[in-house]
Structure 1
């Protein structure tokens, strides 16, 4: 069968995005498609597979996100922006409530972050800091800027469910080797965290008057990644909850992939405004039974969008 898709990214978090509203494939076929399309050694590659799905009475459309290993994530906020843009374009609307795996998100077009950079705001929450919601099997009710009993690190963490699980630690300087070691430990599905989790090290930069966050994340099902939208959101909430930034104040949040503007409320809602960049459109042959891909065809490229994003990146400090 032929699969058409858009190659897109949010803050450098890149995906093939499929309008799946009229596609009825068995679950194992979606898993095979995700593994094939997101394979960096394959013809497309990405940090996962995004699906624009049908909505319901209260949601204009939905989103599903599969990691490169075929596991399905509860959410992906960089992916929500990209999926929302496609939904807006297909339905001729500018805002919507988006149905996710276990929750939902509000999305709306926003003024551009920079000329030519399509920008979408998403709002999610209330997020949870209950250890049980994060998937931690510990006696404590929650973990807020404290060591996690049984975790192979003495660092202080804040555990946040977006609803996907995040462990956020504020550091003076990101040590990638340490981050990868902790991420690998979580990825093994230990008894402490059997459903695995995302681990982020966060530097607070800027000044007291204008703080900024730099986030480096080991993403569940992906590994060390240049960008994870839900990690940026979790880090924003964790920073506000621990007094490192103010609630209800927009903060610039950076990672290796780019930048978003984010804020958190005391009611545990997080708002992120960031890019939804479409790079090129493609079509590929896919065998649902075997997962084999063949005959990639690039239908069209979007050089103006790519150039606008590259120009914006050149103006920001990461």
Structure 2
């Protein structure tokens, strides 16, 4: 039997599949099909998810495991900050380590176990890297701009400014007095359909500044749509906040980032250049359910004969979220 985990970071929900435990690993096509099948809530597999986190053996000896991110539409993301926290917890428990590196498609990233956010709410701190503002790395095309930093782009929304950052997932960020979900949804759908500005799509985040080192962020995620939270989105947004609003940013303190799924913290250290800055994302790594399925059924995408057991961690997380209100 194969064990899958249903997990979340800030209610950004995933299934974890450890391919190292399979007799025959899934091909890229099979992983894409798995993501589309298991994440679709209409298929009634624990109400679906935002993606599948695939654990493989690391290619680089400095890391104890590799994480791949398969979105709900079957596409693959370069990174996922919320997902990395849950994979870090999985690898921490698998290898009995608290500090280590995890290999992603773009970089080997430092992770470490953090102090629990509350009783039975485990937390991990993960490095978000590399950082780029260059148009070619997002990529975007707009009036020969090499960077897009606090720019008015009337073709997007006439009364807002936008900043584009890759971490390494591409993000478009706008600070607003109040988030308009209709505007966010329309812009997110537009820029993740065929368009002349972001040919590969982009994650779109709107952010409200609620005080010194305190933000609320909502994201329309490429390959997913609206999510309860986007780890790399919150990370990129806090870096933009530190650069654009120095009067509201205190570098020696963590930034509290509230989102529809709860709250995380980031720690930003500004570098000599924007790209040399450091981002660490700190938040929950919650395991909600364990799913047992035969390997044959997994390969056949047959989820009719699964055994599902709750971990009961979700109640503790919900209690933590209630304490934030």
**TM-score where L is the length of structure 2:** 0.91
RMSD: 1.8
> Which of 48, 51, 63 in structure 2 is aligned with 1:48?
51
- Name the residue aligned to 1:280: 289
After TM superposition, give the deviation of residue 113 of structure 1 in Å: 1.4
Is 2:214 aligned against 1:212?
yes
- Name the residue aligned to 1:143: 148
> Which of 250, 257, 261 in structure 2 is aligned with 1:246?
250
After TM superposition, give the deviation of residue 290 of structure 1 in Å: 5.8
Whether the aligned pair in 2 keeps the contact of 1:32 and 1:290 (CA below 8 Å) is no
- After TM superposition, the structure 1 = structure 2 runs for residues 86-97 of structure 1, keeping only pairs within 5 Å, are 86-97=90-101
CA-to-partner distance for each residue in 1:75-132, whole Å, 9 max, x for gaps?
0100000001111111111111111112232110011111221010111224111122
- Name the residue aligned to 1:159: 164
Unaligned stretches of 5+ in structure 1? Answer: none
SS of the residue aligned with 2:118?
coil
- Name the residue aligned to 2:274: none
Unaligned stretches of 5+ in structure 2? Answer: 272-276
Residue 156 to residue 37, structure 1, CA distance change in 2 (3 Å): same
**TM-score where L is the length of structure 1:** 0.92
After TM superposition, give the deviation of residue 287 of structure 1 in Å: 5.1
> Which of 254, 266, 269 in structure 1 is aligned with 2:278?
269
SS of the residue aligned with 1:118?
strand
- Name the residue aligned to 1:235: 237
SS of the residue aligned with 2:3?
strand
- Name the residue aligned to 1:173: 178
Residue 100 to residue 189, structure 1, CA distance change in 2 (3 Å): farther
After TM superposition, give the deviation of residue 53 of structure 1 in Å: 1.5
Whether the aligned pair in 2 keeps the contact of 1:233 and 1:272 (CA below 8 Å) is yes
- Which one is further off, 136-145 or 176-185? 136-145
Whether the aligned pair in 1 keeps the contact of 2:26 and 2:299 (CA below 8 Å) is no
After TM superposition, give the deviation of residue 148 of structure 1 in Å: 3.7
- Name the residue aligned to 1:7: 6
Residue 108 to residue 289, structure 1, CA distance change in 2 (3 Å): closer
Q: Distance in 1 between matches of 2:83 and 2:265?
A: 16
SS of the residue aligned with 1:295?
coil
Whether the aligned pair in 1 keeps the contact of 2:107 and 2:130 (CA below 8 Å) is no
Whether the aligned pair in 2 keeps the contact of 1:237 and 1:263 (CA below 8 Å) is no
CA-to-partner distance for each residue in 1:4-47, whole Å, 9 max, x for gaps?
21111101111111111243221101111111111111223111
Figure out how many residues of one structure are paired with residues of the other and give that number.
Answer: 311
Q: Distance in 1 between matches of 2:157 and 2:213?
A: 30
Residue 279 to residue 85, structure 1, CA distance change in 2 (3 Å): same
